[in-house]
Amino acid sequence: MTGEHWIVNSDHAMKMFKEHIDELYAKEKYLVIKWATGKQRSLKQNSALHVWCQLMADELNAAGLGMEKVLEHKASIDWTMGGVKEHLWKPVQEAMTGKDSTASAEKLDYVKVYETLNRHFGDKMGIHVPWPTFETSNS
């Protein structure tokens, strides 16, 4: 099965998409169509997520809050960017949005997940890591 994708974000794009679907159906007589709505997170958001995860790992480690203290592991494990993403970000994202991949998250999902984690760590552990901006992530 071959496939392609379309981004329909204007009346003209919708018209072209409909014409394309009509042509494909006339030729093949069998189509499987899958779609998604909402804007996917941007590459800048994904980069900012990785920077934030690293900054959060650094803060948690500096505060002596290894993974065993936050996640109740038995061994002392330092945080990494990947550990923050897998054990903190993704579970909250999935609980809030039903999406288990950061690539499938929409732009506003990032805001909601960050605010939830920031509030939790601020209230429970006194740790606040601001969301990276273009200026802070390039310094």
Parse the chain into domains and list their residue ranges: 1-35, 43-137
Closest by CA position to 60, among listed 93, 89, 90: 89
Mean pLDDT computed over 96-117? 91
**pTM assigned to the model:** 0.58
Residue 83 to residue 70: CA distance in whole angstroms: 12
Q: Identify whether the C-beta of residue 88 lies closer than 8 Å to the C-beta of residue 94.
A: no
Segment 7-12 shows an average pLDDT of: 84
Tell me what pLDDT residue 2 has: 56
Give the model confidence (pLDDT) of 52-89 as tens digits.
999 999 999 999 988 777 887 777 889 999 999 999 99
Segments in the chain forming alpha helices (H): 11-28, 43-62, 67-71, 81-84, 90-97, 107-125, 134-137
